[in-house]
Structure 1
């Protein structure tokens, strides 16, 4: 979330993966954020909703 808040542009999935060492935990977290509407996913990028 901090990276998305700092960025003025969508954040690529590869950048998000590099921020967390446990890939499985990261995928669950991101999936939950997307499901809850707190993060939007568009292909291989993430961004905060408008």
Structure 2
């Protein structure tokens, strides 16, 4: 999400039932709980989607 323009700049798919989202304290990783799959998706946030 580009906060300046409020537009989506990228989409990352997770598995079914994505529910909770948290970031690591250093913002390097994003964790998404997947309640229907009983898993947690870990997204490497080190690659910036900024322009």
Higher relative contact order (CA 8 A, sep 6+): 1
Larger radius of gyration: 2
| TM-score, scaled to structure 1 | 0.24
TM-score by length of 2: 0.24
Q: Which structure is higher in strand share?
A: 2
The structure with more helix, counted as a fraction of residues? 1
